[in-house]
Amino acid sequence: MKNSIVILITVLVFSSCNNKYLLEQNSVLKFKESYYKSWSSGVRNGGSGYTVILMLEDNLSKTTTNVTLEGIYFKDKYAKLKNQNNNKYQANIIAKKNTISNGDTFALAQEKEQIKEEIPFALEGNEAVVSYLEKGKQKYLKIVLQKSKKIQFPM
């Protein structure tokens, strides 16, 4: 009797520790474009970060696939994806915030002061994970983003 209770508790503990962040191997999501652009605000206290753009294949629509894109994990940050039109999604990720210290002296926030978000995925380089719902079930898909060249404006 005592052994069966221990076994039952062990099974329950291990089943509740199941990783809920499993990456999909085969997904209905197909992207014709996925890239990011780095930006810097250019104004005091504006910060810098990344804009991520995802373009779904033309034959995919959220109504036919029953899919809702929620957010993206990129560069140790998470941001919500916003629908720009039928198949285009965008997320803005703030990488660093600028701060003012000692009156008019302008300084970038120190790395040690920055709070690093804990994300549930080990990502390297241009890797990202898209968080989405498919028929009400939470799913995750790892993708590789292309870096878009910055647009240079003449001064």
All structural domains of the chain: 23-41+49-95+121-147 (2.60.40)
pTM of the model: 0.72
- Per the DSSP assignment, residues forming a β-bridge with 92 are 51
The per-residue pLDDT for 50 is: 92
pLDDT grade, residue 48 (50/70/90)?
confident
For residue 137, pLDDT beyond 60: yes
pLDDT grade, residue 111 (50/70/90)?
very low
pLDDT grade, residue 95 (50/70/90)?
confident
What residues contact 137, with CB distance under 8 A and at least 6 apart?
Answer: none
User: Among 38-42, 72-76, 77-81, 98-102, whose mean pLDDT is lowest?
Assistant: 98-102
The per-residue pLDDT for 45 is: 72
